[in-house]
Amino acid sequence: MTRKVCDDSRAANERCVDRTPADAPARPADRVAGRVDQSPADAPARPADRVAGRVDRTPPDAPARPADRVAERVDQSPADAPARPADRVAGRVDRTPADAPARPADRVVRGEPAGVQLQRLPLATRTSAFVARGGARLDADAVMRRLAACQHGVVSRSQLLQAGVAPHVIDHRLAKGRLDPVHRAVYRVGPIPLRYEAEMAAVLACGESAAVSHASAAALEHVLPEQPAGADVELSAPRGCRPPGPGVRVHRVTCLPADEVTLVEGIPVTVPARTLLDLAGRIGSRELEQALAQAERLGLVTRPELARLARRHPHRRGIPAIRALLAAGSDPSFTRSEAEACFLALVRRAHLRAPATNVTLRGYEVDFLWRAERLVVEIDGFAFHSSSAAFERDRLRDAVLAAAGFRVLRVTWRQLSREPDAVLARLAQALVQGVGC
């Protein structure tokens, strides 16, 4: 009889409903399988709640409690919230919106972020794509290869450190020859230099605020012909930038506004208008006009844009040349190659003997030369042929050539485009006179 009463009491105890206040400490009797929980939804978890088989009557919209961190938990955290340790549970369902920005924990080493072209990212943000998920093992070689692939084969030490590569790992790769130093703290990944390695390496060596400029920028933007092999890479960088070494020429500037820098092949480069402004104080009037003509033909710059930039930097060297160029009007100008093509087509149409082009004569490069007739033809730009400085320079040029026995026939681009028959008549007459000399 006593044993039966005890069994009945134990069964009743297992079916009882808990009406203990939510903040009451757990009791030994609470740790019973199958007990029903009617505590408020916002009550903190108690030790007794972690019992197998306990029935949860918490409303669906109640906030999660610590004890709720189990497999198959639904994530309702904001998309931009930082990753939490508890989120790294197998089987967690992600309800983050599809267009939400990536969080650090979502950027795995293998596999590029969807829709991101690393070469178009600013230097300061490229390494963010290589941050490994918390707890994941970083593949240093994969980081180096992928970062170098979008930077013409080179990486900087600071980029590798930001991506999570340990200093001793970098030093080990250097010692084994898997990284080849190019500049101070800038390395080549792989044995073969790529086409724009010199420009990219120079920018990385001078810092994120530097940009390729002057003649190097003009070559990258195809405004001027490519520089010869071994030419120095020209950069504009804030004051205090230390030149990385031979092969790099740094032009120190007070500031380089963000709207005066763009990306060409993933390399920070001054915009074409700023490039022309930098070149104006260093190249001749004819070269500057032809560079502007080429930039206009390629759709890289407009005259109003160049005028705005000239007003922004009124005291820079070369501003007078830019203003003279803009004051000449908005007529389209010929590039040198276009002038040559147009003039040579005119010569062929008249069945005249073709001249030599771009020949150096008595220290001057002339456009066209009939050596037997001792005739030189020069094509002047519409903007500068009437300026006093250009007039004096051209007269000196003509005098030197005349003293050497050469006659000079000057043709303006405007005459070449609007009066081709008159130009052809003067040319034929000059050639006939040369034959009789």
Same domain for 318 and 256, yes or no, is: yes
Q: What is the pLDDT of residue 341?
A: 81
Please report, for residues 30, 123, 148, 181, the alpha-carbon distance to residue 186 in angstroms, rounded to integers and kept in the order given: 65, 14, 11, 6
Tell me the helices (H) and strands (E) count for the chain, helix number first: 15, 14
**CA 377/CA 411 separation, integer angstroms:** 7
Same domain for 263 and 368, yes or no, is: no
**CA 323/CA 313 separation, integer angstroms:** 12
Q: What is the pLDDT of residue 406?
A: 94
Q: Would you put residue 245 in left (φ > 0), alpha (ψ -120 to 50) or beta?
A: left
* Both tokens assigned to 323: 């203003």
**CA 272/CA 260 separation, integer angstroms:** 9
> Is 169 inside any structural domain?
yes
Q: What is the pLDDT of residue 236?
A: 95
Same domain for 158 and 222, yes or no, is: no
Same domain for 213 and 270, yes or no, is: yes
> Is 45 inside any structural domain?
no
Task: Report the CATH number at residue 348.
Answer: 3.40.960.10
Note the pTM of the prediction, 2 decimals.
0.57
Other C-beta atoms within 10 Å of 230: how many?
Answer: 7
**CA 36/CA 14 separation, integer angstroms:** 10
Please report, for residues 382, 394, 400, 402, 419, the alpha-carbon distance to residue 386 in angstroms, rounded to integers and kept in the order given: 8, 10, 20, 21, 19
End-of-domain residue from the set 312, 330, 348: 330
Q: What is the pLDDT of residue 200?
A: 96
Q: Identify the domain containing residue 220 by its residue range.
A: 209-237+246-330
> Is 86 inside any structural domain?
no
Q: Cα-flanking dihedrals φ and ψ of residue 235, to 5°?
A: -130, 150
Same domain for 127 and 179, yes or no, is: yes
Q: Would you put residue 289 in left (φ > 0), alpha (ψ -120 to 50) or beta?
A: alpha
Nearest one of 107, 97, 87 to 164, comparing CA atoms: 107
> Is 322 inside any structural domain?
yes
Same domain for 136 and 171, yes or no, is: yes
**CA 82/CA 63 separation, integer angstroms:** 18
> Is 357 inside any structural domain?
yes
Q: What is the pLDDT of residue 327?
A: 81
> Is 60 inside any structural domain?
no
* Both tokens assigned to 260: 């005066």
Q: What share of the chain is helix, strand, coil (3-state, %, to 5)?
A: 40, 15, 45
Same domain for 306 and 362, yes or no, is: no
**CA 242/CA 157 separation, integer angstroms:** 16
Please report, for residues 113, 135, 354, 374, the alpha-carbon distance to residue 402 in angstroms, rounded to integers and kept in the order given: 67, 80, 22, 10
Same domain for 137 and 198, yes or no, is: yes
Q: What is the pLDDT of residue 348?
A: 87
Q: What is the pLDDT of residue 129?
A: 58
pLDDT tens digits, the chain, 437 residues: what are they?
444 444 454 444 444 445 556 565 555 444 444 444 555 555 555 544 444 444 455 565 655 554 444 333 444 445 455 544 444 433 344 444 555 554 433 333 334 443 345 566 677 666 665 555 554 567 889 999 999 999 999 999 999 999 899 999 999 999 999 999 999 999 999 888 888 999 999 999 998 899 999 999 999 999 988 888 889 999 999 888 888 888 999 999 988 899 999 999 999 999 999 999 999 988 887 788 888 888 988 889 998 999 999 999 998 888 998 998 888 665 545 666 777 788 888 888 888 888 988 888 988 888 899 999 999 998 876 444 444 555 677 788 889 999 999 999 998 877 888 889 999 999 999 998 866 45
* Both tokens assigned to 342: 């147009």
Q: Are 359 and 365 in contact (CB under 8 A)?
A: yes
Q: Are 108 and 139 in contact (CB under 8 A)?
A: no
> Is 270 inside any structural domain?
yes
> Is 168 inside any structural domain?
yes
Please tell me the total count of domains within the chain.
3
Q: What is the pLDDT of residue 59?
A: 63
